Amino acid sequence: MYGNDFASPSDAPSASPEPVEPGLEDFWRIVGEDGRIEPRDAMPEDYRSSLVRQIAQHAHSEIIGMQPEGEWISRAPSLRRKAILMAKVQDEAGHGLYLYAAAETLGVDRAELLDMLHTGRQKYSSIFNYPTLTWADIGTIGWLVDGAAIVNQVPLCRCSYGPYARAMVRVCKEESFHQRQGFEALYTLSHGTPQQHEMAQDAVDRWWWPSLMMFGPHDSGPHATAGHTAKSMAWGVKRFSNDDLRQRFVDMTVPQAEALGLTLPDPDLRWNESRGHYDFGEIDFNELFEVIKGNGPCNAERMANRRRAHEEGAWVREAATAYAEKTAARRTAGAA
Ligand SMILES: [Fe+2]
Ligand SMILES: [Fe+2]
């Protein structure tokens, strides 16, 4: 996900066609014309609540995603790498900010959304529950995880909800820098010493399958289990199926792996002339559902860090609120 929206089969609602309620004619007209729905427009309640969930989950993923990479800022191998990594991790904080702001236009409060994250009622992308064991993981995350995020998020720049679509335009520009810096860091390692090459290959071996899982379960074909896709497509929020996006990612990534001189860990990966796409092996979705349920290698650690950061930041929020109140009072006194 990280912009893609899905749940495990146990809690996915079934998709039903949307009846046109009175007062929503404009909504369906705008969606039909591929226009943008703005916060002031009437919208179906489940469109609103589903967008709140998707945008919040996306925002949570951006800020939790700072953790696996943040761990390597103090251990980056050079000043140049450190500066790049710091810029990237700060970008992710910024993405969280744009997205919480976009969610707030739908009538929810950021504090409420953070509370849902901290109490486990809202999720974040399962990819961030895997550990970053070596420096090569940082390059691999940029290349594969940010690469998969771009494939998911570029279509969201055209999604029907205006504030979300506009936030995604800037996010995607920054994600493309993230992907390139990852590729470049990994290229340097894979063309370095034999040990560096081995380290790069090991990281790719560990991140490849979780990256494919980022697109969610099958939502097309005989094995479809994902529940939100049909509705989301009717609303103009989702443009392509999880499977189509995953295929696009695989097709884009295989030649890049060749350029890196690294192997993708899938014996079934091969070009299919008749389909005009790469075939690839079966994904272990049980692993994905286990990680979503909280049983991934780093779930507990990520959540503990997040809650602690929130508690330790309480004084900043209090100070900012006190400052805003004082400024407002001064302005009122000045006007009187
Ligand atoms: Fe991001
Ligand atoms: Fe990113």
Relative to the alpha carbon of 182, which ligand is closest?
2
Confidence tier at 14 by pLDDT (50, 70, 90): very low
Q: Distance from the CA of 149 to the center of ligand 1, in angstroms?
A: 8
**Nearest-angstrom CA–CA distance, 287 and 212:** 12
Confidence tier at 18 by pLDDT (50, 70, 90): low
Q: Distance from the CA of 94 to the center of ligand 2, in angstroms?
A: 10
Answering whether pTM is above 0.75, one says yes
pLDDT at 335: 83
Task: Tell me, rounded to whole angstroms, the distance of Cα 103 from its chain centroid.
Answer: 15
Q: Distance from the CA of 266 to the center of ligand 2, in angstroms?
A: 25
pLDDT at 10: 46
Q: Distance from the CA of 91 to the center of ligand 2, in angstroms?
A: 7
Q: Distance from the CA of 217 to the center of ligand 2, in angstroms?
A: 22
Relative to the alpha carbon of 145, which ligand is closest?
2
Neighbours of 195 (CB within 10 A): 9
pLDDT at 16: 44
The per-residue pLDDT for range 182-239, each reduced to its tens digit, is 999 999 999 999 999 999 999 999 999 999 999 999 887 767 766 667 888 999 999 9
Q: Distance from the CA of 274 to the center of ligand 1, in angstroms?
A: 36
CB 223 within 8 A of CB 243: no
Q: Tokens standing for 210?
A: 């979780």
Q: Distance from the CA of 95 to the center of ligand 1, in angstroms?
A: 5
**Nearest-angstrom CA–CA distance, 245 and 297:** 26
Confidence tier at 12 by pLDDT (50, 70, 90): very low
Q: Distance from the CA of 35 to the center of ligand 1, in angstroms?
A: 25
Question: What is the arithmetic mean of pLDDT over 133-153?
Answer: 97
Q: Distance from the CA of 61 to the center of ligand 1, in angstroms?
A: 8
Q: What is the 3-state secondary structure (H, E, C) of the chain?
A: CCCCCCCCHHHCCCCCCCCCCCCCHHHHHHHHCCCCECCCCCCCHHHHHHHHHHHHHHHHHHHHCHHHHHCCHHHCCCHHHHHHHHHHHHHHHHHHHHHHHHHHCCCCCHHHHHHHHHCCCCCCCHHHHCCCCCHHHHHHHHHHHHHHHHHHHHHHHHCCEHHHHHHHHHHHHHHHHHHHHHHHHHHHHHCCCHHHHHHHHHHHHHHHHHHHHCCCCCCCCCCCCCCCHHHHHHCCCCCCCHHHHHHHHHHHHHHHHHHHCCCCCCCCCEEECCCCEEECCCCCHHHHHHHHHHHCCCHHHHHHHHHHHHHHCHHHHHHHHHHHHHHHHHHHHHHC
pLDDT at 5: 57
Question: What is the arithmetic mean of pLDDT over 88-99?
Answer: 97
pLDDT at 19: 60
Relative to the alpha carbon of 94, which ligand is closest?
1
Q: Tokens standing for 151?
A: 């494939």
Neighbours of 8 (CB within 10 A): 19
The per-residue pLDDT for range 300-334, each reduced to its tens digit, is 999 999 999 999 999 999 999 999 999 999 999 98
208: nearest Cα among 148, 268, 271: 148
**Nearest-angstrom CA–CA distance, 138 and 171:** 19
**More confident of the two residues 277 and 11:** 277
Q: Distance from the CA of 28 to the center of ligand 1, in angstroms?
A: 31
Confidence tier at 8 by pLDDT (50, 70, 90): very low
pLDDT at 219: 83
Relative to the alpha carbon of 181, which ligand is closest?
2
Question: What is the arithmetic mean of pLDDT over 23-29?
Answer: 92
Across-strand partners of 277?
272
Relative to the alpha carbon of 62, which ligand is closest?
1
